Structures are given as C-alpha cells and as structure tokens.
Structure 1
Amino acid sequence: MADRLRADAQRNRVALLAAAREVFGEHGLDASLDEIARRAGVGNATLYRRFPTRRDLIAEVFAGQMTGYVELAETALAEPDPWAAFVSYLTRLFEIQATDRGLSELLVTTGFDEDERLAGLLATAQRGATEVIRRAQSAGRLRGDFTRQDISLLMRANAGVLRSSADPGAWRRQLALVLDGLGAR
C-alpha cells in the first residue's frame, strides 16, 4: 500500500488476507465475508474499510497465487521433453483445482478482467500455456487441434468432478483418461 499502515491496521490486514485465502479456498469466491472477518478476529467494518468490495479482496488474495499459476508454465517450459512438460502442466493445474476452490473458480471466471494486476498475470499465464501446447504439438506428441481454450474446458469438467465425486482423487483418473485421448496418434 502507498501509505504506511499503523501496526494494528497492518496486523488486521494480514489477518484478513490469511482468513480470506483459507475461506475462499474452502468455499469458493462466493464465500461469506462475515466468515472471513470472524476468522480474522475483526469486525465487518474493518474488513470493508480495508477492502471496500469483494472484488478488491479477491484481487489482493489471489494476486500472489496467480503468480504461482504463471510459474506453472515457466516450469513446464524448462522441461526438455515437451510431452512431459504438457502432462506436468495439466497435472499441476488440476492439483491446484483440487486443493484451492477459490483459485479454481478464479481461473475459469472471466469477471476479473478489470483488475489490471490479475488480468496481466492471467494473460502471461495464458501465453505460457499456449507455448507449452505448441511445443508438445511441434514434437508430434499432442493432437494438433488442441488449443489453450481447451484447457479452460478441461478445468470446467474437472471442477464438476471435484464437486460431484465422493472420491477426492477422482480427478486423477479423469486426467489420465483425458491425457490418453490428447496424445497424438
């Protein structure tokens, strides 16, 4: 923040962000703001003073995690085997979905384009994903008609598996089946 916060205000801000990460991770982006304030040990007025809108809070909470999403592609691009890079990229993406409902929802939501920070991170991540896909296709390992937009479709399908399956590891089976179908023949 541009202006320096008092020590108690800074503690409240840190507590609110930690509580929001936890609550959004458990319940998704529509989680109760009252629950976030309660877990942070502050009143609702403190929450709204620091973060006037839900979007402000979400942007602040997920900017760091979106940086991690950008790094997924960078890590995959460092892998010399393009197919292994693609598989590890999708696997890690699905793991993120399985462990953080809020980030999972954010990655398939289009409503945060007006936040420059999140939009910039998303655009960088999408460029990286496109390059991971291109490398696997150029190596003849990934079907030629697969696009970055297909990753969004796969994530939406995976979100359904996560919501509806009693088996918390069911996404791994779905991913194995998907990867088998995506390999170039």
Structure 2
Amino acid sequence: MVTNLRADAARNRERVLEVARAEVAEGNVSLQLNEIARKAGVGVGTVYRHFPTPRALLEAVVGKELATMVQLTEQASQMQDIRAAMEFLLRRTLDLQLCTSGGLAEVICAIEDADERTTHAKSEMRRLADHLLERARAAGVIRPEITGEDVRNLMAGLERAVELDPDRADVYVSVLIRGLSG
C-alpha cells in the first residue's frame, strides 16, 4: 500500500491501476508501460514513478488476489479432511486465477518478484501449501512425487484449459484431482 501521496498523484496511480486491471482482464499480462500511460492519460514518467517495471505493475494489479490466495491456503491447511482441503484449495485457486486472466498465475509462477511484499506473500503461501502437501502425501491423498511446483504449474495449465472451455471446469478439476492421487 502506498501512503503519503498527493491527491493528484494518488488519482494518477489509481487511474494507471484501473487501466492495467482492464488490460489483465483482457488477458494482457505483459503490461507495456508506455501503452498503459497512453490509455490512462498520464505521462510515461508518472507510470514509471509508481511502477518501475511491468512486473511491478502486474504485482500491484493482482496483489489483492495474491493476499486472498495466502488466506485460502491458510484456511485449507487448517482443515481436518485433507482430501476436502486439497479440492477446496484447487477450486478456489482456479477461481482466483480466472478472475485475473492469467495475471495471478504469472505472479505465482515467477522466479523473481518486483516487490518484497509479493515475495513475502508467495513465501507464506508456499510454506502453507507445502505443509498441506506433506499432509496429503502422508494420508495417501496425493502421489509422493508431486511437488508444490508441480501443482502450481498444473494449475496454470488448468486455467488455460478452462479459458478454452469454461463449461468443462468441473470435469478438468476432477481430472486433476484424480491425477494427483494416482
């Protein structure tokens, strides 16, 4: 969260974010800063002052969804029924990924982050998810060779499949769940 901005600077920042959200909603996660500035009606320098890289802008756009992912992962990790917890987390992850048209998956799967808050949120999410996966392995709910990275990559692929045929979302999630359990 940015504080102590002048009113005009805060308005410009919010306008940039609004345009970037619209771009992400259309599936454009590359967020070319010059184009964002043009569409937002602000100078390029204004965009770069707030978001020095396209990655920083994307992280800001999906920051709320990333925070929600951390909360959902924590909620799932506290559930007693591990099978239900895994299914809950996979389905809710897919819902969040779909509402960001690839932006959240892009941020989650990225090796480097622009903002330390993103790094912290991803670290916490991965810690909780790894604990959940350990429990799932121990309970025989998922195959022993499945890693957190495997699940993240499969979820990115699942998002793409559902975008191609939204009516098949439940089928695709069920296939993924069965595949994870072997």
TM range (shorter): 0.7 to 0.9
Alignment of 1:53-68 (within 5 A): 53-68=53-68
Amino acid at match of 2:168: A
Q: 1:177 aligns with which of 146, 158, 175?
A: 175
Change (3 A) 1:156 1:57: closer
In the TM superposition, what is the alpha-carbon distance from 1:159 to its structure 2 partner? 4.2
Give the distance between the partners of 1:2 and 1:168, measured in 2 at CA.
36
1:22-45 CA-partner distances (Å, limit 9, x unpaired) = 322322321343453355343434
1:49-76 CA-partner distances (Å, limit 9, x unpaired) = 3323223323333333321121121111
More divergent stretch after superposition (22-31 vs 96-105): 22-31
Partner of 1:90: 90
More divergent stretch after superposition (30-39 vs 90-99): 30-39
Give the distance between the partners of 1:15 and 1:24, measured in 2 at CA.
14
Question: Is the 2:105–2:156 contact (alpha carbons within 8 Å) kept by the matching residues of 1?
Answer: no
- TM-score for the superposition, normalised by structure 1: 0.81
RMSD between aligned residues: 2.5
Q: 1:168 aligns with which of 150, 155, 166?
A: 166
Give the distance between the partners of 1:72 and 1:13, measured in 2 at CA.
28
Partner of 1:109: 110
Change (3 A) 1:14 1:126: same
Alignment of 1:35-184 (within 5 A): 35-100=35-100, 101-112=102-113, 115-162=115-162, 165=164, 167-183=165-181
Give the distance between the partners of 1:153 and 1:62, measured in 2 at CA.
18
Give the distance between the partners of 2:52 and 2:180, measured in 1 at CA.
44
Give the distance between the partners of 2:162 and 2:30, measured in 1 at CA.
17
Give the distance between the partners of 2:149 and 2:52, measured in 1 at CA.
33
Give the distance between the partners of 1:25 and 1:2, measured in 2 at CA.
23
Q: Give the number of equivalent residue pairs.
A: 181
Q: Secondary structure at the match of 2:120?
A: helix
Question: Is the 1:20–1:36 contact (alpha carbons within 8 Å) kept by the matching residues of 2?
Answer: yes
Amino acid at match of 1:119: T
| 4+ runs deviating over 4 angstroms | none
More divergent stretch after superposition (33-42 vs 57-66): 33-42
Amino acid at match of 2:92: R
| Structure 1 unmatched ranges of 5 or more | none
Give the distance between the partners of 1:72 and 1:6, measured in 2 at CA.
35
Change (3 A) 1:56 1:140: closer
Change (3 A) 1:6 1:156: closer
Give the distance between the partners of 1:97 and 1:65, measured in 2 at CA.
8
Give the distance between the partners of 2:81 and 2:88, measured in 1 at CA.
11
More divergent stretch after superposition (28-37 vs 12-21): 28-37
Could you tell me the percent identity over the aligned residues? Answer: 34
| Structure 2 unmatched ranges of 5 or more | none
Question: Is the 2:96–2:104 contact (alpha carbons within 8 Å) kept by the matching residues of 1?
Answer: yes
Does residue 1:5 correspond to 2:8, yes or no? no
